[in-house]
Structure 1
Amino acid sequence: MSLLEPYDHAVIVCQNLDAAVGQWKRLGFTLTPRGYHTLGSQNHCIMFARDYLELLHVTAPTPSRQYYWDAQQRGGGCAATSCKSRDAFATAERLRAAGIERSDPIEFSRPVRLEDGSEHAATFRVTAVDGAPGARYFVCEHRTPELLWRPEWMSHANGATAVAAMYLVVPAAEVESAGRVYAEMTGGEASPLKDGAVRIAIDGAHLVVTSAANLAAQTGTDEIVREENGYAAIRLRTSDIDAARAHWRNAGIAARDLGPRDTLIPAHAANGVALLFTQAG
């Protein structure tokens, strides 16, 4: 039985959030207004139809933010991924029953200001698996989804519509076992791929667990390199790759076309994680 609902979001840690905002706007993304979490972090979100990217900055280390603070001190990058949960407490219990060590659910919020000037508290419950292979994994229960998925924030100049895949690097000897762990945590279906990688289908998105040596085989390019554990790349669907390419040319972004339907934004242009844009459909 599936433990979780669909894929939810990726967390990209930014040492300088102001600089990140400017860069991701140049990449053609619409960002939500800055959020100030009650946990002591700040963010901007890039909203798609049902999932999103989160640009996160931690202002000071606290018990609940220590993991992200440490990632930020190491230079940032994509530090975690999340699936949705209908009930974070129930999911935490299911993970515990499966023998997966996780944190107790915590609840927090951040104010959201809407176009009409009104302000409301967006609230969340999360439970995290800090010991997940390669990087943090957590589940997120959105208590107020109507405050995040709003039309004014879901249209992007680069045509991005969804997260298609996440690429996680672990040691070659651990790929198979890591794939089993993620299949257990997400409730997704794991399939072995060539070169020893494992792909987990998470209802509309994929998590690809691979080794540094085999990363090129899974991403379709040898220009993405990551030797240490963690997320090397995020694949996004775009409704119009040609319009996206025109936007990047005009913005002076050093994008690299990998074929008629795929373009690479290198990691140095996206806070340490490579972006692969793929034509949808």
Structure 2
Amino acid sequence: MKISARDIDHLSLSLTDPEAAATRLQQLGFNLTPEGVEPRCICFQPDQDDVPNYIELLQGEPPGIAVAANVTELEGEERTHAWETEDGFEVDAGVVVGQSDGPLPWFAVRHETPDAFMEPEWIVHPNGALAMMAVHAVAENPREIAKALKEKWSAKAEEILDGCMLVKTGTVELLIWSAAAYQSEYKAIEAMAPQDLPAIVGVTVAVERARPLQALLRANNIPFALAEGDRVLTSPEQSGGLMFEFLPQN
């Protein structure tokens, strides 16, 4: 399937126990949409008013992670759900979801109510998170995967590091690493590439400041590591199945 992707809209996690993952992510300092309604989402302030920026947790077997690419026109499965804010206001969301595609797991999505993922009480986080800036994947041949996605998404692709390809259609970047390059870049948390490749392994999240985040993680007994540029790293084992790279903006 070929599309004109506007941006990476969100990251979709299918999990055997999404509530356990939600609890772990709350310990990292994220606010999530109310429990009891699927999906549970970590929402961020988007760069564009009609292109949301979030991570969703879904019940699913087998477990997996996929990228959602935002498009303006799409025919597919219509999904609706409603959350209730703390003030008792009902927020209705309508999303059209396309078929899954490859070579890296992804699908197209069109939002009928993008503002549903931008409620003020959900985009403000105790850890100071501001936005999902990048998605990380590992592949046996990053260049080949990047070339395929460039064609399917009408995107731009370039090699930015030895063993790391960048694919970009909007604000959120997709970084595709070789196993060796990924493990070297994130050796501070002893990152290991999955056996089944290609696979999505992590995200980069912009945060206001590093020190308050570090204090929160220590208070919640969440192990973390520091990397160049004041980056704060947490391993997938500590973060609901994803590597989190927190990038301070101040």
Q: TM-score under structure 2 normalisation?
A: 0.87
1:145 to 100, 111, 114: 114
1:70 to 62, 75, 78: 62
Aligned residues: CA RMSD: 2.1
2:62 alignment partner, SS class: helix
Deviations 1:190-213 (A, max 9, x none): 011332321112321211112212
Match of 1:236 in 2: 205
Residue 123 of structure 1 deviates from its aligned partner by 1.0
2:32 alignment partner, SS class: coil
1:47 to 35, 43, 49: 43
Please tell me the residue identity of whatever aligns with 1:85: V
Judge conservation of contact 1:163–1:205 (CA < 8 Å) in 2.
yes
Number of aligned positions between the proteins: 240
Residue 30 of structure 1 deviates from its aligned partner by 0.5
Question: Where do 1:125-274 residues align within 5 Å?
Answer: 125-130=96-101, 132-134=102-104, 136-171=105-140, 174-219=141-186, 221=188, 223-227=190-194, 228-229=196-197, 230-274=199-243
Q: Give distance in 2, aligned partners of 1:273 and 1:18.
A: 15
Judge conservation of contact 2:189–2:234 (CA < 8 Å) in 1.
no
Residue 15 of structure 1 deviates from its aligned partner by 2.0
Q: Which runs of 5+ in 1 are unaligned?
A: 37-41, 59-68, 90-104
2:244 alignment partner, SS class: strand
User: Are positions 1:88 and 2:90 aligned together?
Assistant: no
Quick check: 176-185 or 9-18, which moved more?
9-18
Q: Which runs of 5+ in 2 are unaligned?
A: 47-52
Q: TM-score under structure 1 normalisation?
A: 0.78
Residue 260 of structure 1 deviates from its aligned partner by 4.9
Cα distance change on mapping 1:216 and 1:202 into 2, 3 Å = farther
Judge conservation of contact 1:32–1:45 (CA < 8 Å) in 2.
yes
Match of 1:62 in 2: none
Question: Where do 1:80-119 residues align within 5 Å?
Answer: 80-89=66-75, 105-119=76-90
